[in-house]
Amino acid sequence: MSSGTPLGATKTLALSAALTATLATALATTGSGPASAAPAFPRPDHVVVVVMENHAFKQIIDSSSAPYINSLAKGGAVLKASYGITHPSQPNYFALFSGGTQGITGDGCYSVGSMSAANLGSELIAAGRTWGSYNESLPSEGSTTCKSGKYAQKHNPWFAFKNVPAKSGHTFAQFPTDFTALPTVSFVVPNLCNDMHDCSVGTGDGWIKNNLAAYADWARTHNSLLVVTYDEDDRNSGNQIPTVLYGQPVKAGSAPTTKYNHYHLLRTLEDLAGLTAHAGKAAEVGDITGIWN
């Protein structure tokens, strides 16, 4: 026998190398190791979604009339290619909440409790999470009125669904000052002036600052998220809308150019809450990516 590595040691080294290669292949195949590990999707404790009205991306982002929304964009994420689904307003709200327009094509008052399709509220409740909406100028909690002063039912799709309790539709006065009391996911809908529908960009921007800046600041240090989006554009920009996300889970200054719409946002809200169900067309699209810490 020649000098060098003994035969037994050679066999041992070969066997060890084979086992190492087999283990690496197994880890890559099963996703158990670094070869295929994907970044964890965040699980914020609270998500608040504010829906504003009828403005295009270019009317809000980098506009001097919306300093607060732009401060959120700079400290969080702005989607550079976010789009509404259709026109007019109301079908977009249904799309964002339930993954489809549910046959709604106009802004007329719908039949309360007439729909049973899966939606964000029903999915959260079924999974043991919590849901609520906070609606400015709603006459009283659970009110299913069509119109009242500056309140408009057309911006509040949850009352159409029999699988969402009407009492989960709160007045905005009921928005908690103790933010730990917020639902897992909630929507905030300003009235027809403060959502920029009837009043100026500056009015709506000031309303968000005055009413939600305290939550936004808190969200930065309490694993929570604020989303500001719009139902549709002004019909002059291909339905490109502003969508801004801000909070501890969000990478500051991120600005993805991937094309997203209300269905992608719904899918993301579902996955942020750890839901396994996805309503309507949210099941056919992916999550918003490239913005998470």
What pTM does this model have?
Answer: 0.87
Do residues 80 and 58 make contact, with C-beta atoms less than 8 angstroms apart?
Answer: no
Q: What is the mean pLDDT, run by run of 10 residues, along the chain of 293 residues?
A: 43 41 37 41 98 98 98 98 98 98 97 98 98 98 98 98 98 98 98 98 98 98 99 98 98 98 98 98 98 97
**Which residue segments constitute the domains of the chain, with CATH numbers given?**
7-38 (no CATH), 46-284 (3.40.720.10)
Report the pLDDT value the prediction gives residue 40, as an integer from 0 to 100: 76
Give the span between the Cα atoms of 194 and 52, in whole angstroms.
Answer: 8
- Nearest 5°: CA angle at 169, between 167 and 175? 110
The answer to whether the peptide bond before residue 88 is cis (omega within 30 degrees of 0) is yes
Give the span between the Cα atoms of 55 and 242, in whole angstroms.
Answer: 8
Q: What distances in angstroms separate CA 271 from CA 9, 85, 97, 169, 205, one per listed residue?
A: 52, 21, 14, 22, 28
Report the pLDDT value the prediction gives residue 11, as an integer from 0 to 100: 40
